[in-house]
Structure 1
Amino acid sequence: MGAVATDPTAAAPELDERKAAVLLAVVRAYVRVGEPVGSRSVVDEAGLSVSSATVRNEMAALEEAGYISHPHTSAGRIPTDKGYRFFVDALRGQTSADPDVSAEQVALLDDLLAGATDLEDLLHKATTALSRLTRFAGLVAAPRLDRSRLKHIELVQLAPATILAVAIADTGRVTKRMVELAEPLAEVDVQRARHAINAAATGLRGHDAPDAISGLSAGAPSELTELIERVAEAVRSGVADPDTRSRGLFVGGTSALAAEGQFARLEQVKRVYETLEEQVVVLQVLQDALADADPGVRIGAELPLRELEACAIVASSYDAPSESAGQIGVLGPSRMDYRATLGAVRAVADTLERAIAGMTGTGPSRTADRLRATNLSAPDEQR
């Protein structure tokens, strides 16, 4: 996983070494105590060998430049979005930007994700892991199906003219579509079609598979033509269409956002909860956070939604088979420990990659095992 890509000196050339030290001290102290920070606290936090009066002058300059603000009820200062951004960017210049993740935490992560029964369960558990480590809402976007490869297509005859098409990607994701035929079809013909479809589409990327399946109909027996075309349509809508990824967003730990000290006002929490119900919107916000850097951070006004102006998102990508990638992240208040949160998100991303590799790559696919256990693959084995 890479580091945050923005250069703090390029973003804020007007800050000399002492102003930068004062600003970073304000951010650290405010994140820790949640109260406006005074000049004496800054002197102690930064270890500066200057007077409080000198620090007050520096804080006044930082306020004028928009890095900190001065709540009217207090003599102290709090960071603005611009101040948080400087802090996050400054992490890049540190030799150890990521906090250590203890062996105990790594073991807990491995144990939590190892208990998953399939990819969806794994991604749900990843949101729980993110929330437990950060006390924020965990967000996990599943790998895009259209970039993954088809591992198997199963056709289950539920009625003479009703077929359930089950497409299994090499990422472990499973999509299902009902296929209604105009005329009943014999079970043996369904299995003939399934065999031909798998021979043509297995191993293809999701966006290439529908055309390969549809191309079979030209040379297929007339009784199989309709089923083949309908399966091609089902794969196109369930796997090849990029918009289907909007249904692959998992959110967990939202109750943590209502904890005391997370947000200043109740209406802020309400707006965040309402936004989290909009999967497509949240998915886009998560992906946008990774547009410039991985891991990526978006703070307050950098987020595209006014409803999230009191929030920040820390996001990272994780690798899956077939060069497919998903995204994970946390949504919390802009007053968060960015250093610890970046470390936690990276740790979960790494653990998730290992778990997916064990489930779909280096180890046997648990999804395939379950399908075999329910005899969905029995016709193949009987040929």
Structure 2
Amino acid sequence: MSIPVEKTSKPKIHPAPDQLGFGQFFTDHMFLMEYSEAKGWHNPRITPYQPLPIDPGACVLHYGQALFEGMKAFSQKNDDVVLFRPQYNCQRLITGATRLCMQAPPADLMLEGIQALVRTDQAWVPKFQGGALYIRPTLIATEAFLGVRPSKNYLFYVILSPVGSYYKEGLNPISIWVEEKYIRAAPGGLGATKAGANYASSLLAAQEAKKKGCAQVLWLDVTHEHIEEVGTMNVFFKIDDQILTPSLNGSILAGGTRDSVIQVLKSWNLPVIERRLSLAEILEAHSQGRLQEAFGTGTAAVISPIGEFQYRDRALIVNGRAIGPLAQKLYKEFTDLQYGEKPDTRQWLMKI
């Protein structure tokens, strides 16, 4: 498709690498494309970053038809800029849109728009290890009406944000609160989609966890007996030299990094098992000294070692609050690939 580009007349000042944090700055441009029943997907364009004109009656504002994705572009040591498994994220958005009764752009149109935008703002891609250009594709319902039904009009847009580490701890192990009061999702709900509603429902528990000195929440299922995921990440445990992660059950988000980690672990001939995991067995493994490591996986943090679980009035220390060898090896595996230190043998990278 032809994508016209309107360049900004007021370029922003690029922040210093040590100021980036996560999601605090946005680049100069954005990609937009609309859908209507009469025209289908149309009017793709790149414009200066600016507020969206949206009707106060838009369906997204009242009935929550909103879905997004997250991926990254990396600057490699040879100055190539690459995306990490963008096809996975595009397909996940399409799957989520079906669940929310939304019209998603075809994957090839999404990718074409994302690539064009990253090329336009390529100068914003951080050039240090640990930095990346975070890509936020978003799909919202824009038809103005009151009444509970799916919208007939949609806006797909993409914005970019130069980022450093997601957590202030960086690669240092984080503390996690085991949440027993609130739940993130239930069977038959939206837990397997990257819907905005999922994140709204998680905010109160995350806020309370931060007051306890924790970076994130360990979510349990609707029975409060089985482990699901950690805030913005999927979760893995190493117990008795086996790597365990909760199986996808319809209320857990199928993370692209999770999928990639499982593939890598299998290629290393390590025993990785996807199954239902109870909180009781994790507590027992810890009390018996069999819990060797725990870590989260996700686009934002890549690999995030867990040094402590705060459970009720107890602090369950994992590996002496130090990063474990498996988490360290996985982090190196992924960052070496993303920054061009090793060849892309799995064809996971897409060059811009």
TM-score range relative to shorter protein: under 0.3
TM-score between both structures, scaled by the size of structure 1: 0.25
Write 1 or 2 for the structure with the bigger share of helix. Answer: 1
TM-score between both structures, scaled by the size of structure 2: 0.26
Write 1 or 2 for the structure with the bigger share of strand. Answer: 2
Asked which structure has the greater CA Rg, the reply is: 1
